[in-house]
Structure 1
């Protein structure tokens, strides 16, 4: 009876949360899946792809969405299962599957040729989209990404709600409570060595992330991440076009040295910007530095004018290092 009561309570709590926080954007249906997206601005299209456990609101909260929308048409999607996007259980949701769905949504919204800006788990989706439809992706901005598989303790710790049957019980009963208890520690780890910014502490919608539906998506993506990186790694040499890699030098979630720096070295013409004193959430810790780097990259590839934007393939990536503002 206690489990039933907890399940009913968490279900009702999720519904209350959704009433308090209605969708901020619009919806598009692709291949039978309803996706939520937020859109602002005019001009060439930038598509923002968020990481694990969050939604398109992550870019809104950081300020990056509004900053880029001053000069570009910016579309930020909720990936399947996050925010208000559906994640049907009768189909796989690998990075490639998610990429194909977002490409379909971009076509439905007449996005044309676009630059993808992605964070964390979203970088896997962005790179799969580029590999799937290289002529439609003008360039990539990859922040705090994970590109080669490693042993990860978070997979067994956070992947429970994705286990069939048992996971359903967990995400409707114990997982929301455990998530609330763990959240301060998770925030600290995500931002370390920087402090958790006040705008994030006050503005992050933790109640949305702890809904049973989003817990399942978060757990599934956590469990799949090493496998997805393993599938992508042999294909990295096939990534074409300009790429800007960004990372915090103190990232505790994915190693800057073994992931971002390595990727920039291996990609043809890859460039890297390492933000000193920042952790995994670079777009929140140093939003202006990130925005200026993205805008500079777009100018360099002539994305404002739709020009060719050919770039020199350096044997070693150019590194720009800027300290965090005081």
Structure 2
């Protein structure tokens, strides 16, 4: 059984947030940032920690508004998450050898590396995304997303909207379509663990904003690619050939930049690092060991 995570306390805007953090192994430090999604926690990075902590000290931690613990009511926005990552890089994991970031976390990592060169080390972007589910589905940002975000804070309406979108059948459907390649992977104990995340106190506030696109690290496709172009640290992109088509197109556009290294695995969707950790670890070890 893996050890229980420790606690990282972040004070922001006079509000205390207790976040889970887990350190494993010895050696050069790897910071590991899980995806931003309604079912994401630092636990999704543990399979990679198991495989990389033989040579590295791996540090995984939750994002505020997400993760394994109760979350306070707050109007979460991009700035709060940018500030949080800056604090992590300044005080929790200073000058890591590399930072591994999944999904939307990869977008926030690109932004931090663009603004503060060298602070995050080498960048390993795992199925990187920048646009939330609703604007991805609609093909653009819209006022509907803003309405969904505002509704998250209305006690009865927000709870109802959250339950309609994040009940067990909907979570299984989302997982089969976009997240895991094996349609039976998210079942039994795994599904129960994900539903505990979904049902945490205060989960709807950040989760619905993520779905609506209000936590997108960039405003548009051009800003996403511009940030990557301005990053001077080494970048490795790893994604699966079975990724959802719209997200895969964004990953391919990022990979086409001349200074970005890319490895496309034969299998894997948005959570390839969780479902296929052996393949992902083997893919990134040469990049980490240079």
TM-score range, shorter chain: 0.7 to 0.9
Deviations along 1:110-138, whole A, 9 cap, x unmatched? 53334111111111111112122212121
Cα distance in 2 for residues equivalent to 1:81 and 1:166: 13
Residue 39 of structure 1 corresponds to 23
Say yes or no: does 1:187 pair with 2:175.
Answer: yes
The reply to whether residue 239 of structure 1 matches residue 231 of structure 2 is: yes
Q: Aligned partners of 1:45, 1:103: CA distance in 2, in Å?
A: 17
Residue 254 and residue 46 in structure 1: after superposition, are their counterparts in 2 closer, same or farther (change >3 A)?
Answer: farther
Match of 1:7 in 2: none
**Structure 1 residues 294, 165: closer, same or farther in 2, change over 3 A?**
closer
Q: 128, 145, 150: which one pairs with 1:163? A: 150
Match of 2:8 in 1: 27
Structure showing greater Rg: 1
Instruction: Confirm whether residue 263 of structure 1 aligns to residue 254 of structure 2.
Output: yes
Distance in 2 of aligned mates of 1:190 and 1:102: 26
User: What secondary structure does 1:272 align onto?
Assistant: strand
**Does structure 1 retain, via aligned residues, the 8 Å contact 2:73–2:202?**
no
Alignment CA distance shift 1:102-1:86 (3 Å): farther
Aligned to 2:45: 59
How far 1:170 sits from its partner (Å)?
A: 3.2
Deviation at 1:24, TM superposition (A): 2.9
Q: Is the CA contact (8 Å cut-off) linking 1:161 and 1:175 kept in structure 2?
A: no
Q: Residues 134-213 of structure 1 correspond to what in structure 2 (within 5 A)?
A: 134-147=117-130, 151-153=135-137, 162-164=149-151, 167-173=154-160, 175-176=162-163, 178-180=165-167, 181-191=169-179, 194-196=181-183, 198=185, 202-204=189-191, 205=193, 206-211=195-200, 213=202
Structure 1 position 44, deviation (Å): 1.6
Alignment CA distance shift 1:289-1:159 (3 Å): farther
Q: Given the superposition, is the C-alpha separation of residues 47 and 78 from structure 1 closer, same or farther in structure 2, using an over 3 Å criterion?
A: same
1:296 aligns with 286
| TM-score computed with the length of structure 2 as normaliser | 0.80
* Pairing 1:300-319 to 2, within 5 Å after superposition: 300=290
Q: CA deviation at 1:26?
A: 1.7
CA-to-aligned-CA distance 1:196-224 (integer Å, 9 cap, x gap): 45476532421222335222212112222
Q: 1:227 to 1:278 in 2, by over 3 A?
A: closer
Question: What is the distance in 2 between the residues matched to 1:88 and 1:131?
Answer: 30
TM-score by length of 1: 0.72
Contact 2:159 2:204 in 1 (8 A): no
For residues 75 and 189 of structure 1, what CA distance do their matches in structure 2 show?
30
Counterpart Cα distance in 2 of 1:69 and 1:108: 21
